[in-house]
Amino acid sequence: MKKINIVCLGGSMENRSSTLAVLKYAAKRLKLQGAEVYIADIKSMNLPVFSYKALKAVKNRKFTELVKKIRAADGFLFASPEYHGTVSSAFKNVIDYLEVLSADKLPYLSLKPVGCIALGGAENAGYATLNSMISIVHNLRGVAAPNSMAIGYASNLFDSKGNLRSEAVIKKLNRLSNELFILAERLRD
Ligand SMILES: Cc1cc2nc3c(=O)[nH]c(=O)nc-3n(C[C@H](O)[C@H](O)[C@H](O)COP(=O)(O)O)c2cc1C
């Protein structure tokens, strides 16, 4: 049987993005479950601010590849840092470019599951951003995974060896990855 395909989209414009590191951790989990995973690092796409003109002119190889992967995907994992109480403009900009999927037979992310992860610097951060992400997913006709999660204390998440420090965060990320895999299997059938 064909493998479950998951597109992981996120990160930030910073060189050592904790958001990207969390996304990569969850991607590893999904691979262990047997998924084929594609990681789309927002920074590497380097897209100009969205306009229809910019969308028509886009020749960016990474973006073209992302669109191809999205069309073939069974599910998605989104990760954004919290900037001033909502998703970062870099994350939202890539989402706006998904307008390219608007005229598809099944537009945007139609009926596909999306796990969302929001990271904030403050103690109980990320919840407002998580709500924005879930709203984005529903507007793109996707199905938000119930175990989508907010993570606080983002700058303290990893130790010097790059391992996640918090057992609670690990447990929640594993739960979300497992759930996303199951949802992708069930909604594909
Ligand atoms: C412009 C800006 C705005 C931010 N706003 C918030 C915020 O509203 N709430 C919060 O908890 N953290 C906020 N932070 C902290 C980031 O969410 C946090 O450092 C994040 O994990 C950075 O992700 P990154 O390492 O992937 O770049 C902000 C950071 C920046 C640079």
Return the exposure string of 153-166: e unless at least 16 CB atoms fall within 10 Å of the residue's CB, then b.
bbeebbeeeeebee
One digit per residue, pLDDT tens: the chain, 189 residues?
Answer: 899 999 999 999 999 999 999 999 999 999 999 999 999 999 999 899 999 999 999 989 999 999 999 999 999 999 999 999 999 999 999 999 999 999 999 999 999 999 999 999 998 899 999 999 999 999 999 999 999 999 999 989 999 999 999 999 999 999 999 999 999 999 997
Q: Total structural domains in the chain?
A: 1
DSSP 64-93: HHHHHHHHH-SEEEEEEEEETTEE-HHHHH
In the block, residue with structure tokens 């919840």: 127
Out of 24, 43, 80, 84, mutate this one to test ligand 1's pocket (max ligand atoms within 8 Å of CB): namely: 84
CA 81 – CA 118 distance, rounded (Å): 6
Is 81 touching ligand 1 by the criterion CB < 6 Å?
Answer: yes
Q: What angle do CA 42, 117, 40 make, to 5 degrees?
A: 25
Is 80 touching ligand 1 by the criterion CB < 6 Å?
Answer: no
Task: Tell me the CA–centroid distance for residue 150 and ligand 1, in Å.
Answer: 13
Domain encompassing residue 118 = 5-188
Tell me, what CATH number does 67's domain have?
A: 3.40.50.360
SS3 8: strand
